[in-house]
Amino acid sequence: MHRRSLLAGLASLPLMPLASLGALAGLTTPTVNGRWRSFDITQTVKLPADSGKSRVWLPLPYEAEWQRIDQISWKSSAAEPSLVKEPRRRVAAFYAEWPDGDIERSIELRLRISTQNRAVTPKSPPADAAIPEDVAYYLKPNTMIQTDGIVKTTADAITGKKSDPLARAQAIFDWVSDNTFRDPKVKGCGIGDIKTMLQTGNLGGKCADLNALFAGLCRAAGVPARCVYGVRLAPSVMFPAMGAGTSDISKAQHCRAEFWLAGTGWVPADPADVRKVVLDNKVTFDDPRLADLRRYVFGSWESNWMAYNTDRDILLAPNGTELLNFFMYPEVLTVKGALDGIEPEVFGYKITAHEATA
């Protein structure tokens, strides 16, 4: 058994000030009061004895003002399991490997994590505000989130003559909320191929699609933006669709988004949850609760969710061989090839979360 009281070395993101939320009519919203909630999270993996040479990476959360890692412990049949970070963007993972041999490959990884409701009051930045180098990284394209061609022309059409980055982000958020839809047939959380979405006119998808579309359009409009990959931990106080329904959260992964403003920092945004509530909870666009929800998720998120990382095109360390689109599911390689982390029952993966009472 190995233990860590705190992952002091894991990558941290810019810290966001917590702001008070005004009451929203007709919708119960979390109170931003600095109260920490603690969750005990257990991830298990059991691979068959005939898996041959095997490697497993499990995503780990980062630390920020609104999220902290209190404890990590693990048990594993691997010889030297470890906590690792991808060298380029410092994406964190638990890593284990096994050689050939007739032995069950098992992991039990336990986390105690604490979260807060998060809210940011965005303010228009000065016209001459500079973008730091580490933030400018989130203006660049990657394999799926492109910023040229139809993405650029769409962003220009949405933002028009707006020069204020906050106004541009708001216009893009409204456009994505109004024009996309949640497609329950999409596997997992989607892949976020935004150029194909725009070229085909099929603006359906799930969170990794719709929030990638928001992020890519923001980047094309000159506003740094990124997706934040994580998992829902508990029910929501707002709508059932925005929370985990059971303690088994093996399929509760959820991608959010953020955009950056000089003088404010990173601002939460989640148009995908707007569309999820419309579909799953049958809330119509003329329902005042939806207008309240749209105001809430443009600047806030609830403490029933844990963030893993913010990067794309990831080469996992150590011994990763192919770029990952994003790292929100377990990654498993065996002698038989890669296993599908979207289908946890295929290789005995499970994650559970329980809110701690003491």
- Please report the pLDDT score of residue 94 as a whole number: 96
Both 201 and 240 in one domain: the answer is yes
Both 199 and 336 in one domain: the answer is no
Q: Which residue has the higher pLDDT, 27 or 53?
A: 53
Both 133 and 238 in one domain: the answer is yes
Both 301 and 316 in one domain: the answer is no
Residue listed under structure tokens 């499990």: 58
Both 113 and 125 in one domain: the answer is no
* Token code pair at residue 234: 């508990």
**Band (348; pLDDT cuts 50, 70, 90):** confident
> Is the Cβ–Cβ distance between 37 and 114 less than 8 Å?
yes
Task: Find, among 59, 91, 8, the residue nearest to 249 by Cα.
Answer: 59
pTM of the model: 0.90
Strand residues in the chain grouped as ranges (E): 2-4, 37-47, 54-59, 67-76, 82-85, 92-98, 105-115, 118-119, 181-182, 204-205, 225-232, 253-261, 265-269, 300-301, 305-309, 331-334, 337-339, 350-355
Both 313 and 303 in one domain: the answer is no
Both 331 and 223 in one domain: the answer is no
Residue 106 has pLDDT above 80, yes or no: yes
**Band (33; pLDDT cuts 50, 70, 90):** low
DSSP label of 53: S
The structural domain count of the chain equals 2
* SS percent in the chain: helix, strand, coil, step 5: 25, 30, 45
Residue 3 has pLDDT above 60, yes or no: no
Residue 23 has pLDDT above 60, yes or no: no
Pairing between β-strand 37-47 and β-strand 350-355 as defined by DSSP bridges:
antiparallel
Both 129 and 177 in one domain: the answer is yes
Residue listed under structure tokens 């990959």: 229
Both 267 and 144 in one domain: the answer is yes
First to last CA, the chain: 23
Both 234 and 282 in one domain: the answer is yes
CB crowding 7-28: b at 16 or more within 10 Å, else e: beebbebeebebeebeebeebe
**Per-residue model confidence as pLDDT tens digits over 56-105:** 999 999 999 999 999 999 999 998 999 999 877 789 999 999 998 888 88
Amino acid sitting at position 255:
C
Residue numbers of the domain that contains 271: 121-307
> Is the Cβ–Cβ distance between 267 and 299 less than 8 Å?
yes
Both 126 and 260 in one domain: the answer is yes
> Is the Cβ–Cβ distance between 299 and 268 less than 8 Å?
yes
- Please report the pLDDT score of residue 257 as a whole number: 98
> Is the Cβ–Cβ distance between 306 and 61 less than 8 Å?
yes
**Per-residue model confidence as pLDDT tens digits over 169-198:** 999 999 999 999 999 999 999 999 999 999
Residue 222 has pLDDT above 80, yes or no: yes
Residue 14 has pLDDT above 90, yes or no: no
Hey, which residues does 354 pair with through a beta bridge? 40
| CATH classification at residue 241 | 3.10.620.30
Both 149 and 296 in one domain: the answer is yes
